[in-house]
Structure 1
Amino acid sequence: MTKPIILIVNGPNLNLLGTRQPELYGHETLACVEASARTHAASLGLEIEFHQSNHEGDLVDWIQSARQRCVGIIINAGAYTHTSVAILDALLAVQVPTVEVHMSHIHRREEFRHHSFVSKAAKGMICGFGSHGYILALDALARLIRGS
């Protein structure tokens, strides 16, 4: 029997984790974030697909591909959070439970980062907990999926 799949989508500049503004984002690389998420997902009986791109269309394509295959989406859209109606539309179209993640506390940052298009499609947002936000998002989705 196959495990339920969670799609994890990461947007622009997240490939630079570990070296980009470590005072905001920490010292872990995206590969470390992925490894932790895979381990935690397995403990929850879930499988993940993990992607990162600096290109908006890639994120939209991955989200659209989740429609029939995935039971949930975790998205850290990076800067596209604040600008992308295309990502919002894709999330609304697939009708898959979505949790928005931000490693930094976006509401304590510049004013333009306070607005999120993604939030309009997400069940909830986790921000300010660094890479642990992905683990919290997996826990939240597991509960949503199981209806508890």
Structure 2
Amino acid sequence: MNTISYSMTCDHKACDDQFVAAETAARHGDWQLCRKLSGQFEQALSQHFLAEEDILFPRFETLTGMTQGPTAVMRAEHAAMRDIVFSLRHAAASESLDDFLGHADTLLVYMQQHNLKEENMLYPMMDRALHAETGALLDLVQQQLAVQSA
């Protein structure tokens, strides 16, 4: 059986790859491609966050009673990253390389730190707490993530 750790870590990697592609397009001055790829990255990241916030976090909180613990921290970090992505999108729209790369650098640091916390702490906690429900939860998560390709 797949684990939450494995599935969500793979999705982190997919989001990271889209982010790198958008940043590469910006560095090459291909703003049309950058805007397209940035939009795809934003959609993928949004779906990832929603899968956590709407499916995994609530179930984990219900089973563990931890509502002000790691999931609260992750939600706050999601909000901060959404704000940076908004600024990134604005920089791509205005074709400002310095602004785009500045926001990209900030976002990269946030994502790296955030992903490490999820992958090394929260997801393993979820694997243990939600073990009996993993298959059903991952089916719901995959449905949520599939929205991005629709």
- More helix per residue: 2
TM-score, normalised to structure 1, is 0.28
Q: Which has the higher contact order (CA 8 A, sep 6+)?
A: 2
TM-score, normalised to structure 2, is 0.28
